[in-house]
Structure 1
């Protein structure tokens, strides 16, 4: 249900591949996603990740409600640990992740996109967090990540009404970062990933870490977080190679350490 493709040495693509269910998040799919992200997080050759779908009608329609309809309360509690690991696996990738969204990205599917650092979508994209309409709340990070992306009132509008937004509105709101031509979301997401991968892997990893850790602290603390990231990068072999390559007017050959 999850496929990992490589594009060159440094870009990995996580492909949601359960087309018969429009990539609905079953327990099995969540377990595979958690495993895939855990492996990629340990792979030092990976510098950027794209998350995409194997079919254009849906990125992911959210939780597999047909499966959940058969659950006891104990089943649901057991599944919770698996799904949390899946969404956190995407969120905690140490390298930038880019979602390529076409078609429906609802509920857990929207949350997978939100767990990425950037969201690229084509005009067919439909995004939303409809959980309250079926008696639950967003549980894959949606209440927290959407609020951080959009601010309180815009996030509250989407969560409390359970409404869906098309790609154009999602782009205006800031839920989508780049809006592409029809059918181009994956290609553009891969372009973005390749652009990221061309930069210093030490610098990019430390920049992402500083931005994430500094998100919810006061400015003074955030500047200390940034200083730690700067020091970890400034005395690395990547920094030495970057300066040398600039002086020699050539493309850097990043050591990644």
Structure 2
């Protein structure tokens, strides 16, 4: 059985599930391979407008690196494996469509780094998370030192990484690490509802908005406004833009095609 499952739900929503519940959905080499194969499928499927990433079972989203597997590795193999985790999380960050981390349980180390690479983070009320690598004598190596500070600020990021603190989902929301905390009973259903609220909007507009936000955030405001202009221009000649105007005029829900 694959360590990663990809389903298409509600026509335009992709649900990608890390499927190693017996190992807290940790990053084995096989899971990394399967995850990249699943991302290949997502990128080839033009019908997917939003991708949800979650973990199987109720205990863990992803516990990070598979430390049992790592015990038998040489130093060179460890470095290569960490590099593979980093390149995979970066790939998730750079995918064109919006991504939502549905954090259904524990998200530590590389697991939280995967969530940080997503556009939006939604947590179950029983979830716990943290970048705990310094407690193992190492540092976050899959983008955590960079993405966490950009998301919640330098001081808070340093505090969490230096102390290896574990946060509840409520604490994570209070500092802006996650956007929503949902009750365990209807966690996935409500995560899908949020995804549908994104998927109903113009897919080209959503993708260009993501691009403008991501690229503009890394530069000064003047350059960012120019990036916004370029991304806005991409939406002008589209069929979707004309459909949006027509639907507004006719007081009906637009039927976007991504063209």
Scaled by the length of structure 2, the TM-score of the pair is 0.96
Once residues 182 and 8 of structure 1 are traced to their aligned partners in structure 2, the CA distance between those partners, rounded to angstroms, is 21
Unaligned ranges ≥5, structure 2: none
Q: Any conservation in 2 of the 1:120–1:188 contact (CA below 8 Å)? A: no
2:164 is aligned, of 156, 162, 165, to 162
Q: Any conservation in 2 of the 1:34–1:85 contact (CA below 8 Å)? A: no
Once residues 149 and 126 of structure 1 are traced to their aligned partners in structure 2, the CA distance between those partners, rounded to angstroms, is 18
Q: Any conservation in 2 of the 1:99–1:189 contact (CA below 8 Å)? A: no
Q: State the 1:80 CA deviation.
A: 3.4
Q: State the 1:192 CA deviation.
A: 1.0
Q: Any conservation in 2 of the 1:90–1:115 contact (CA below 8 Å)? A: yes
CA root-mean-square deviation: 1.2
Equivalence for 1:103 = 105
Equivalence for 1:172 = 174
Unaligned ranges ≥5, structure 1: none
Q: Any conservation in 2 of the 1:27–1:83 contact (CA below 8 Å)? A: no
Q: State the 1:236 CA deviation.
A: 1.2
Once residues 6 and 156 of structure 1 are traced to their aligned partners in structure 2, the CA distance between those partners, rounded to angstroms, is 38
1:182 equivalenced with 2:180 (yes/no): no
2:64 is aligned, of 44, 57, 62, to 62
Equivalence for 1:250 = 252
Correspondence 1:167-246 to 2 at 5 A: 167-246=169-248
1:75 is aligned, of 67, 74, 77, to 77
1:16 equivalenced with 2:34 (yes/no): no
Scaled by the length of structure 1, the TM-score of the pair is 0.96
Q: Provide the aligned length of Structure 1 versus Structure 2.
A: 257
Deviation readout 1:108-137 (Å, 9 max, x if unpaired): 111111111111112111010011111221
Once residues 158 and 80 of structure 1 are traced to their aligned partners in structure 2, the CA distance between those partners, rounded to angstroms, is 21
Q: State the 1:194 CA deviation.
A: 0.8
2:16 is paired with a residue of what secondary structure? strand
